[in-house]
Structures are given as C-alpha cells and as structure tokens.
C-alpha cells in the first residue's frame, strides 16, 4: 500500500483559442475558461485506478499557483483524490514560475507527506515544458517512468510501458518513483455532481513555497510573446508550365 | 411516484443539465439543455414505475454517450496537437 502524490496544473482550457496580449507580455488569461491540464487529468485517473486496485492507499492532489488553482484541486478531489495541497504562488512569481521550482516543491512535499509515488502529466498544454517529472525525479534521486502508456504493479516495484518514438518500451522500476502520464494511459472519468459536492468537504491544505523552503523568485524574464506567423495566401496557376515556372522562380526546383 | 424514483429522476435531470454546460457547437449548451428539458416534460405524466425506470435507464445511457463524446473530443484535439 502506498501513498500517491498527483500534480495538477490549472491551464487555459484546451478548447479556448489562445490570444496574445497586445503588449506582447503573455497570453490573455482574464475572463478565459480555465480547467485542469488534460495530461494531469490522466495522471489523477491513473492514481484513482491504483487506489481501486488497492495498490494505493491515499491520493494527494497538489497544485502550485494562484488562489484559483484550488478549483482544479477540487476537480481532482471530485474525481476521487482524498485530500489536496495548494502551494500558493501568485503575481509575477507565478508568471515566471519554472518547472525547476515546481519540481523542488513537489519533491519537498513528497518527502513531507511520505509519498511513495508521484504521478504528473507529461506536460502542461500552456507552456509545454515537459520537464517537471524528470526534474522531480532528479531532485529526489528516485527512478523515473516518463510518458507512461501502461503501469503495472509487481512484487519488486512497477512494470512500465513507455511511449517512445515509433514504438513502446517496457521498463522496470522500484518504488518510490516518479511517473509522467502520456495521452493513451487511460480515459479520465467525468466527476459526478454528488462527488463534486462531497469534494467540497475534503481537506485542502494551503502552504507557501517559503514554508517548504523553496525559493521561487523569478530567474528569467519574458522578452516577448508573439503569435505564430500567419500562412501566406496561395495562388492558382492556369497550367503545368506556369506551375513549373513559378517553382523555378521560387528556387524549389 | 415514490420518493426513491423521484430522487433518481431529479438526480438524472441535474446530471444531464450539468453535462450540457460544455456541449459543443454554437448555442450548444442552451440547445442541449432545452432538449433535455423537453424530453423530461414529454414524459411528465408517466406513472408506471417500470416505465419510469426504463426512461431513467435511457437517460443514463444518453449521459454516458455525452461523456464519451467529450472525452473523445478532448483526446482528438490533443492527438492532433501533439502526435500528428
């Protein structure tokens, strides 16, 4: 029986069209729908599956971010996590928060809460860093199973099938370990209304990075955030000769 | 209608209305929620407990389908963004 720590991030909803702020300092987040990072949903689902199989005894959902991050912790609690920890980081510190800070926070919490397994989504759909799991494993000096496609418990530890370029790789790890969930690990469940109500009564602890001894002062500076270039308009050519002529002109042949 | 069946029907109605909040398409949520309302109103005079339970079973099937639609939509969006 083990305790599982799940990292959840509040991100701009996947269905929202992201817009860059006119002053190029970031993307518009005010008045935009936010939800739990889809890969973190998969991580939460996997933790709940482990609990249903009696492999995990308790699931702790952790989120680092401003006060609104408690919404995604509540979502995780409604899905089936047991309690939540909200690490409050807001303002400029949060805008420039890097995976290195999050991994230090997760590592410290994992030791404090005596967790045996950390599961996070492989990446967040807002900054696409794909670093938190790897760096958390490094900070703790625990084995890591990234891009999990399948997780099985064995007597010695875990058998993990990983998604790699052009195929799957199976590895064995010991416990404790850090896992990151890939898209095909499972299908996250939809929280039911009664469970959403029950989640409001589940314990949620609030801490600050300072309490955990992690320094989150920004070390980077955002120089500019810009929209990707718009696709150039195409042109119709009357026949093959004109096409070949155009291609030659453009230096493609 | 017995209290037990009544709470099941109300629970299902609330669940479907809740699911409808994210229904895709222009005015998707309003349309979906109105349809649910109409579907429930259509059978408001039903008194046979067996028939009511059959309707509730159908409603739960619809809810499952809508949940499947949402997760498929999300899966496809992510697959398109990161894997294609």
pLDDT digits (tens, 9 = 90+) for A147-188: 999 898 888 888 999 998 888 999 999 888 999 999 989 999
Contact B15 A193 (CB under 8 A): yes
pLDDT digits (tens, 9 = 90+) for A27-85: 888 889 999 999 999 999 999 999 999 888 999 999 999 999 999 999 999 999 999 99
How large is the average pLDDT for residues A104-118? 91
Q: Which of A181, A121, A187, A13 is nearest to B72 (CA)?
A: A187
Residue A221 has pLDDT above 90, yes or no: no
Q: In chain B, which residues have their Cβ closer than 8 Å to the Cβ of A183?
A: 75, 78-79, 82-83
SS3 of chain B: the string is CCHHHHHHHHHHHHHHHHHHCCCCCCCHHHHHHHHHHHHHHHCCCCCCHHHHHHHHHHHHHHHHHHHHHHHHHHHHHHHHHHCC
Residue A251 has pLDDT above 70, yes or no: yes
Contact between A98 and A219 under an 8 Å Cβ cutoff? The reply is yes
A208: left (phi over 0), alpha (psi -120 to 50) or beta: beta
How large is the average pLDDT for residues A184-203? 90
Q: In chain A, which residues have their Cβ closer than 8 Å to the Cβ of B80?
A: none
Range of the domain at B18: 3-82
pLDDT value at residue A192: 87
Query: How many beta-carbon pairs under 8 angstroms link A with B?
Result: 27
Beta carbons within 8 Å of A68's beta carbon, 6+ residues apart = A10, A34
The whole-angstrom separation of Cα A34 and Cα A7 is 16
Residue A1 has pLDDT above 80, yes or no: no
- When the pLDDT of each residue in chain B is averaged and rounded to a whole number, the result is 86
Residue with tokens 């050519």: A237
Q: Are strands A177-181 and A144-153 parallel, antiparallel or unpaired?
A: parallel
Q: To the nearest 10°, the Cα dihedral for A218, A224, A226, A232?
A: -140
The whole-angstrom separation of Cα B71 and Cα B49 is 33
Q: Which of B19, B24, B75 sits opposite A183 (nearest CB)?
A: B75
pLDDT digits (tens, 9 = 90+) for B28-72: 888 888 888 888 888 888 788 888 888 888 888 988 899 999 989
Q: In chain A, which residues have their Cβ closer than 8 Å to the Cβ of B14?
A: 193
Domains in chain B: how many in total? Answer: 1
Residue B79 touches partner A, C-beta closer than 8 Å: yes
119-148 in chain A: CB under 8 A from chain B: 125
Burial of A58-94, coded b for 16+ CB within 10 Å and e otherwise, reads bbbbbbbbbeebbebbbbbbbbbbbbbbbbbbeeeeb
Residue A112 has pLDDT above 80, yes or no: yes
The model carries a pTM of 0.86
pLDDT value at residue A63: 94
pLDDT digits (tens, 9 = 90+) for B67-82: 999 989 999 988 988 8
- When the pLDDT of each residue in chain A is averaged and rounded to a whole number, the result is 89
Q: In chain A, which residues have their Cβ closer than 8 Å to the Cβ of B75?
A: 183, 187
Contact A192 B15 (CB under 8 A): yes
pLDDT value at residue B8: 85
How large is the average pLDDT for residues A93-121? 90
- Write down all domains in chain A, each with its CATH number in brackets: 3-250 (3.40.50.620)
Residue with tokens 């469940």: A189
Contact A187 B19 (CB under 8 A): no
- Phi, psi (rounded to 5 degrees) for A148: -65, 135
Report the alpha-carbon angle A118-A75-A130, nearest 5.
40
Contact A14 B74 (CB under 8 A): yes
Residue B54 touches partner A, C-beta closer than 8 Å: no
ipTM: 0.82
How large is the average pLDDT for residues B10-15? 88
Q: In chain A, which residues have their Cβ closer than 8 Å to the Cβ of B71?
A: 187-188, 190
Q: Which of A14, A187, A193 sits opposite B78 (nearest CB)?
A: A14
pLDDT value at residue A40: 93
Residue A168 touches partner B, C-beta closer than 8 Å: no
Cα-Cα end-to-end distance for chain A: 64
pLDDT value at residue A138: 93
């Amino acid at each position: 029986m083990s305790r599982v720590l799940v990292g959840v991030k509040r991100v701009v909803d996947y269905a929202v069209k992201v817009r860059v702020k006119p002053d190029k300092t970031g993307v518009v987040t005010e008045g935009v729908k936010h939800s739990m990072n889809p890969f973190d949903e998969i991580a939460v689902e996997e933790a709940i599956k482990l609990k249903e199989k009696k492999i995990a005894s308790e699931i702790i959902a952790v989120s680092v971010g401003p006060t609104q991050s408690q919404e995604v912790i509540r979502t995780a609690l409604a899905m089936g996590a047991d309690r939540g920890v909200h690490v409050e980081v807001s303002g400029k510190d949060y805008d420039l928060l890097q995976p290195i800070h999050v991994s230090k926070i997760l590592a410290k919490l994992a030791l404090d809460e005596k967790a045996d397994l950390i599961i996070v989504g492989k990446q967040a759909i807002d900054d696409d860093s794909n670093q938190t799991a790897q760096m958390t494993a490094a900070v703790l000096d625990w084995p890591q199973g990234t891009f999990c496609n399948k997780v099985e418990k064995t007597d010695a530890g875990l058998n993990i099938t990983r998604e790699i370029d052009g195929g799957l790789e199976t590895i064995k790890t010991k416990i404790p370990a850090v896992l990151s969930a890939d898209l095909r690990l499972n299908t996250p469940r939809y929280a039911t209304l009664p469970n959403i109500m029950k989640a409001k009564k589940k314990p949620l602890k609030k801490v600050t990075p300072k309490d955990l001894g992690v320094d989150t002062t920004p070390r980077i500076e955002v120089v500019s955030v810009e929209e990707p270039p718009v696709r150039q308009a195409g042109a119709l050519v009357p026949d093959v000769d004109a096409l070949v002529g155009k291609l030659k002109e453009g230096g493609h042949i | 209608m017995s209290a037990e069946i009544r709470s099941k029907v109300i629970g299902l109605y609330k669940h479907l209305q809740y699911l409808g909040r994210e229904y895709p398409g222009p005015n998707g949520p309003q349309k979906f929620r109105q349809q649910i309302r109409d579907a429930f109103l259509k059978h408001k005079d039903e008194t046979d407990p067996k028939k009511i339970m059959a309707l509730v079973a159908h409603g739960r099937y619809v809810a499952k389908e809508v949940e499947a639609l949402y997760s498929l939509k999300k899966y496809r969006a992510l697959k398109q963004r990161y894997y294609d």
